[in-house]
Chain A
Amino acid sequence: MFLNRKYVPVLVTLGLLAAMFAAGSLRYTGFFSMQVLYNLLIDNSFLLITAVGMTFVILSGGIDLSVGSVIALTTMVCASLVEQNGWPPAVVIPMVLAMGSLFGALMGAIIHYFRIQPFIVTLAGMFLARGLCYVISIDTITIADPFYTRVAQTKISLPGGFVSINVLIALVVVLLAVYLAHYTRFGRKVYAIGGSEHSSLLMGLPVARTKILVYTLSGFCSSLAGVVFTFYMLSGYGLHAMGLELDTIAAVVIGGTLLTGGVGFIAGTFLGVLIQGVIQTIISFEGTLSSWWTKIVIGLLLFVFILFQRVLSERRISIKS
């Protein structure tokens, strides 16, 4: 055996991504260019940031349904404070990041101390954040602040094309997350709790602190994704990022992370997000395909991946025993 078995799902995802990109390049002229690749990152930078936070939550054996709503709430708070109250972005952005983290920490505390399922608590969080958007305003608030427009329009040239500042933020987040997950104590604790919460507790690991931190991290990532989303859309709206929690979970699962917790990689999530991006790009290049095909294809891909993981993990068990 040349490579460790645990890397197989990530490698399969990578292979699939390459195959889909190759298929797109063969079929459509103009598909094979660096700019198309960069656009994948530009259009999915907020999804990437959210998915990184979600990966930690899923690794710890939980789930966070509130991410899409927290993004919407962040865009709304940013837009309303900057545009309607004239606050400087330098104050608003750190404030919304703190707000998102606090939101996540609160949910984590409720989940841990009152032993209510993460599914239900984050569902309530999703309702709450989405509802708070409408308390601020029912309509779209456009952002015309010079700082925002400058960030949105800045193009960083790279060989063969350009990327936006959002992409840099997303890539930094991914790199930090890889470090956090694989090279720090916190990362190991997250994997341990995902493997077995009871064992971790008996080992003396700080389960309460780690679990709350994981949801705090996810809240932080969602609000950062919300800030990135305001750079991307230049507006705040209560319907922004509708259903994004599903896309995020799908990206994490396609990336090879098990929903039971304890198994998975940040790099896999990165590839999972890119695969979703490639599907959308192929559908837009095809032109005649309607948008609902995206959903059907993502559903099919989910199916294939889950089945594949199933077969793989079964083999691993049979080898062990």
Chain B
Amino acid sequence: MASRLVRHHLFWPLCVLAALLLFNLLYSPDFFSIVVRNGNLYGSLIDILNFGAPLMMVSIGMTLVIATGGIDLSVGSIVAISGAMACLTISKSSDQSSLPLVFGAVLASIALSLVLGLWNGALVAAARIQPIIATLILMVAGRGIAQLITSGQIITVSSDLYEYIGAGSLASLPFSIFLVAAVLIAASLLTRKTALGLFIESVGSNARASRLAGLRSNTVILSVYVFCGLCAGIAGLILSSNVSSADGNNAGLWYELDAILAVVIGGTSLSGGRFYLMGTVIGALIIQTLTTTIYMIGVPPEITLVVKAFVVLAVCLIQSESFRKSIAFRWAKRKYPAEQEAARHVS
């Protein structure tokens, strides 16, 4: 029973999250307090959910891409482009809060992110370029495109309606949480209640074998990149509407790295073939909780990165099979390379 629990894919991520929360509880007892102000809930936990929403959104899309054995480095740039597009459209109008305008701006951004996702997908599926390079193109060029849209400036908008996406509340919870929940539920249902999830994992294990077995590997690959683009686009809207401005240079900077980290912490292997959406969400929450914790205990924000590096390393080491084994069986007899190789193939 206990070993089954330990082997569950959510065990280690949940342990890390629990350890972080426990640390916070011991450090400042009112960490868990949630107060109601103006009919909205406030508190550190709500903040973590709210500020972590864009990262969770991007990570959900990234999980499916990684499940097919790919990777999407361009999400940070898509976040910037999507925010820039929406803010540009809104800022050009005189009545910035009109419903059709905001609706149109959001639609334009989403359409643009779908196109960008399609571009990535086409490069990977049709042109058969390695995913890491195919998406590197948009990662480099996308930042430039975002700056082109904003003409290198920070565009600010004053639209109550647009602000609602990232800063508004619904049923006393931040609206962005509902967006994430909706995407998460849709993705979970699509992948776990239909055969789509199986297709994705099959393509991730071996795209060629899947195609020979009658699967449209290319369509599956294309669609996960489009979905990832969509997620990044929505995250860009949340992020830019939260601060009511678009910054082509800094919006979504290093998001691709945080998102990949969240996916890996969640237990999804970068080699593809298996994926855990809940694990990814927990991974994103770990990253956000870590950031909040670091700010709270008064560590200068500049050295956040050092703490982050050690946590990343620790989490990856805990999840690494060979690290756990080397700790557990230090006394085990020496194996020769060929023997190790044979053992690796058998297991």
Contacts and interface: CB of A to CB of B under 8 A. Distances in A.
Given A123-B261, A310-B129, A292 B144 contact: yes
Contacts of B257: 123
A310 B130 CA distance: 10
Given A130-B305, A290-B152, A124 B141 contact: no
Interface string B301-336: 011111111101100110011110010000000000
A290 B152 CA distance: 9
A47 interface: no
A260 interface: yes
A307 B257 CA distance: 25
Interface string B31-54: 000000000000000000000000
B322 A302 contact: no
A167 interface: no
Given A120-B270, A299-B140, A128 B127 contact: no
B214 to A, nearest CB: 24
Interface residues of B, number: 49
B306 A135 contact: yes
Interface stretch (B131-139, B154-162, B163-171, B177-185): B131-139
A295 interface: yes
B216 interface: no
B147 A290 contact: yes
A294 B144 contact: yes
A50 to B, nearest CB: 16
A115 B137 contact: no
B302 A120 contact: no
Given A294-B144, A307-B127, A124 B309 contact: yes
A134 interface: yes
B140 A246 contact: yes
B258 to A, nearest CB: 10
A306 to B, nearest CB: 5
Given A117-B270, A246-B139, A296 B305 contact: no
Nearest to B301: A134
Interface string A291-315: 1111110111011001100100000
- Nearest 7 CB-CB pairs, A to B? A299-B141, A131-B305, A295-B144, A134-B302, A131-B306, A128-B309, A292-B147
Given A121-B313, A128-B309, 16 more contacts: A114-B322, A117-B264, A120-B261, A123-B261, A125-B309, A126-B309, A246-B136, A246-B140, A292-B144, A292-B152, A292-B248, A295-B147, A296-B144, A296-B145, A306-B137, A310-B128
Interface of B: 71, 127-130, 132-134, 136-145, 147-148, 152, 248, 257, 260-261, 264, 270, 300, 302-310, 312-313, 316-317, 320-323, 326, 337-338, 341
12 contacts: A110-B313, A114-B323, A119-B71, A124-B313, A127-B312, A131-B308, A290-B148, A296-B145, A298-B140, A303-B137, A306-B129, A307-B129
